A and B are shown apart, each in its own frame.
Chain A
Amino acid sequence: MGALLQTLDVTKRFGGLSAVTALNMSVESGEIVGLIGPNGAGKTTSFNLITGVYKPTGGQILFDGRDITGLKPHAITRLGVARTFQNIRLFKDMSVLENVLVAQHMRMGANLFEATLRLPSYLRKEKRIHERARALLAEVGLAEHERARATSLPYGKQRRLEIARALATEPKLLFLDEPAAGMNPQESVDLMEFILKIRDQFRLTIVLIEHHMQVVMGVCKRMYVLDYGVTIAHGSPDEIRNDPKVIEAYLGVE
């Protein structure tokens, strides 16, 4: 089968700055892989490259055996890649339910005419995506908030809504950008269990960026460490913990 996601020497330069240099990541189906590194190491840029927000300056990205380098973000999402954002990006003037419904527009396959004329074929699809959206909201514990404005939710719930919205696109591969940011220790433990649960339930492969070491070390079998855009280490949590280069990057060496 080979890897679900593979990046081959992916590089991104902004002018003279090389934000990501020769990223070679390989993610097997069903894995949970961590991406860590100090601030400004190029982690989110790597996510943006793989999900199509940025075009790589060089290199190749393969997903599910297809070359997705330079495809538009919505085309990549259609192939089965979903993500959440580090700085939450919900649809602020829309309700919690609508946020999840929007994410199903692509898979719904309704044309403009049946949608505006509310033909029976459209109403059936609409009913189906409503049911699915409600099921997803129940899954992340937001069922009772479906009519609230998305941005009126507390921070932790907004994060969960982002995950529900990403799941609504029916992904194979899910990118989580700092899902534990701003969470207290108990919430972080809950999050770890939640990540493992959705991985099994939705047969996902997950790549996550996280600063919260307890979370990363807890759920990831393997991780990549970036510093100044360069991959400085790669391996199991134990290997990473004892890697002198990683310690140097995080703590600095005199």
Chain B
Amino acid sequence: MDNPRKNPMSRNAALTLAASIAGLGLLFVFEATFDPFTMQIFKLCAINVILALSLNLINGFTGLFSLGHAGFMAVGAYTCAILAMTPAQKTANFILQPIVPWLADVHLPFLPALLIAGLFAGFIGWLLGVVALRLRDDYLAIATLGFSEIIRVVLTNAQPITNGSLGLKGLPRYTTMWWAWGAAIAVTVFLVLLIRSSYGRAFKSIRDNEIAAEAMGIDVFGMKVLSFTISSFLAGIAGGLLAHYLTTIDPKQFIFLKTFDILLIVVLGGVGSITGSIVAAIAVTLSMEVLRFLDGPLNLGFMVTQGIPGLRMVFFSALLMIVVIFRQQGLMGTSEFSWDALARIGLLPRRGAKPGTGIE
């Protein structure tokens, strides 16, 4: 049984290695050829990949309908920004009231600031999880949505810490392409390993049948809290990257509509598919830019519009409706990319199974 497998396995390993090298090469090429504006979009793709993956971990793999993602991003973004700003920048930003003394002189390099941002968001996620994960389905969605709004209100009003509604400006532009894509790749690898492990199976069993999972000895509540905490941690990391990508943050960016942007990606890609989330995150981020012409003046032949801001969002609304009606499982459903699947649909030569040694 194991022997005939060996050959295609090593072929798959070789293909994976080749694809990784090609991917890395592409990143170098992009960095060298693209203008700064295009690079910005490209970096945003990576941040959205992390966000989509982290939301998919709770919504897709653990089956918890959570809508609090904007809140965790906000926690991560603010934590990272405050830790990484120089004392001079803080003085310049906090014009209403100076920043609280214990934060005034903190100035960390990007990596520790980002990690602390993730850990803090994870801690907040754990706190919320312990309380809110006693709820299910719609009730959980409402509780997490409310929580995310609370975070925003706190950020608006805690002026001595967050600079309130003025936001934080002039953050160092730390999020280079290497940071963004490095983090996205690390998060992808981590999630693939997590989902394939025994813990991943436990998460999926909760999604499929909570009562049976509990009866099979899975500590359902503990597992939900774990999944929620990991997801918040990753959302915090993405938030930190976003802060130093935009270089300006304010509480209004983290309204609950931000959560729905990510939910759109997860639903389009397939609830419960890592591949789907990655593909959809990139496709949606790019389309947001490509479709920007829809917002400007349009010449439709029979009439000319003066430009309707927000028209491109109508495209996504329509797309979402079409997907929900005709293909509820999204792009990928719960399947994942694999070389064998490519071979099955004829995009790769089938592996040369000798007669009598084939699997299945």
A residues near B (Cβ < 8 Å) are 51, 53, 72-74, 77-78, 82-83, 85, 89-94, 98, 101-103, 105-108, 110, 112, 115-118, 122, 126, 129, 147, 165-166, 168-169
Contact = CB atoms under 8 A, between A and B. Distances in A.
Contact of B198 (A51, A74, A105): A105
B214 A91 contact: no
B13 interface: no
Nearest to B192: A116
| Residue picked from B194, B199, B221, most chain A C-beta under 10 Å | B199
B214 A72 contact: yes
B211 A89 contact: yes
A154 B348 CA distance: 34
B208 A108 contact: no
Contact of B201 (A89, A101, A112, A168): A101
B96 interface: no
Contacts of B208: 90-94
- Nearest first, the 9 A-B pairs at minimum CB distance are A106-B217, A91-B208, A115-B197, A89-B212, A77-B217, A103-B216, A73-B214, A102-B205, A116-B193
Contacts of A51: 215
A93 B201 contact: no
A98 B219 CA distance: 17
Nearest to B197: A115
Nearest to A117: B193
A126 B209 CA distance: 23
Given A73-B215, A89-B212, A102-B205, 18 more contacts: A77-B214, A77-B216, A93-B207, A93-B208, A94-B208, A101-B198, A102-B204, A102-B213, A112-B226, A115-B194, A115-B198, A115-B199, A116-B190, A116-B199, A118-B197, A126-B198, A165-B216, A166-B216
A100 to B, nearest CB: 10
B193 A102 contact: no
Given A89-B211, A93-B207, A94-B204, A106 B197 contact: no
10 contacts: A72-B219, A74-B219, A78-B217, A82-B215, A91-B213, A94-B201, A94-B208, A102-B205, A105-B217, A116-B199
B199 A112 contact: yes
Contacts of B220: 74
A147 B340 CA distance: 15
B209 A90 contact: yes
Interface in B189-238: 190, 193-194, 197-199, 201-202, 204-205, 207-209, 211-221, 226
A93 B217 contact: no
| Residue picked from B198, B207, B217, most chain A C-beta under 10 Å | B217
A73 B209 CA distance: 14
B204 A77 contact: no
B95 to A, nearest CB: 45
Nearest to A168: B216
Interface residues of B, number: 28
Given A98-B201, A102-B201, A110-B198, A85 B217 contact: no
Contacts of B212: 85, 89-91
B272 interface: yes
Interface string B62-105: 00000000000000000000000000000000000000000000
Nearest to A171: B217
Contact of B205 (A82, A91, A110, A169): A91
A118 B192 CA distance: 12
B334 interface: yes
A245 B360 CA distance: 56
B216 A106 contact: yes
Contacts of B360: 147
A115 to B, nearest CB: 4
Nearest to A101: B201
Contacts of B207: 93
Nearest to B230: A112
A77 B334 CA distance: 29
A241 B280 CA distance: 64
A131 to B, nearest CB: 13
A147 B1 CA distance: 14
Interface in B322-360: 334, 360
B211 A53 contact: yes
Given A115-B198, A116-B190, A116-B194, A106 B218 contact: yes
A62 to B, nearest CB: 20
A99 to B, nearest CB: 8
Given A105-B198, A115-B198, A93 B215 contact: no
B216 A92 contact: no
A83 B214 CA distance: 11
Nearest to A99: B205
A180 to B, nearest CB: 20
